[in-house]
Each structure stands twice: as C-alpha cells, then as structure tokens.
Amino acid sequence: MLCEQINLALKTSMKERAPKVRIGTLRLINAALKDRDIAARSEDRCGGLTDEEVLGILTKMVKQREDAAQTYEDAGRIELAEQERAEIEVIREFLPRQLTESEIDTAVEEVIQELDAEGLKDMGKCMGALKSKYAGSMDFGTAGGKLKKHLAN
C-alpha cells in the first residue's frame, strides 16, 4: 500500500540522515494523509485511505507546489522556487510515471472511441473514464483541453 511505502521512506530517510527537504516533505505528505484518514473515519469509512485517494492527495500537492514555485519565480524569489521544486521531486517518487503529450493524445482518442462520444455533452463521461484509468499518471488539465478540442470538432 502506498501509505506504508511513504512511512517506510520517511523512516529510512531519517535513519540515513537524508537532506532536510526530503524528510520535511515526507512529513508533510504523512500529515496530509493523516488528515484525510481522520476525515474518512468521521465519514464511517474505517478501512482507511485507498491508493487512489493517496494518489489524488499527492497529485494535488504537486500542483500546489508548481503554482507556488511559479509565484515565487515571478516575485524574484528563486531560492524559494527551488525549494518547492525539490519538494515536487520527492512527492513524484510515489506517483506513477507521468504520461507524455502524445500518450495523453492517444488516451483521449481511445476513450472517445470506447464511449462513442459525440460532442461536448459527453465530456464529463470521457473525463470520468480518463480519471479512473489514469489516476495519478495524467495531467487532467492538459487532457481536458485535448478532449474538448477533439469533441468540439
């Protein structure tokens, strides 16, 4: 399970006296996972977090850090932008390999064919299928734009 991998990575990093950014980022990931786990328990889901939920949290954390890094760069705070990018690298260790632009194009075309999508009215159905198939490995902002372009034609 992904939560266990993250916990193990934190313990190993602490024993090996890894760089502060790595240990700090792993602690931030653990804190976010524990927050979500507590929320899940309050909803009577005692099974804990699923790997899909963990991937969603990690993807969101990467997006937040990318936005922060861009903001820091725009403000001329390069050292803070580099810190955010270093955290992104640690988080991405637990995410599946990200699809390339051409792989996203192929996936979008396949989903459109599978669902016989015709027009923008089917966009939600197609995005749902993409999210279930490619959770954590696809930039859905990019995929949404490509899907919209294909369905509009």
* pLDDT tens digits along 26-65: 999 999 988 888 887 777 666 677 777 888 888 889 889 9
Joined tokens for residue 105: 């194009």
CATH superfamily of 2-92: Uncharacterised protein YqeY/AIM41, N-terminal domain (1.10.1510.10)
* pLDDT tens digits along 142-151: 888 888 888 7
Q: What percent of the chain has pLDDT over 90?
A: 32
Contact 72, 78 (CB under 8 A): yes
Question: Residue 49, Cβ neighbours under 10 Å: how many?
Answer: 19
Domain boundaries, the chain: 2-92, 101-152
Q: Give the mean pLDDT of the chain.
A: 86
| CATH architecture for residues 101-152 | Orthogonal Bundle (1.10)
- Name the pLDDT band for 90 (thresholds 50, 70, 90): very high
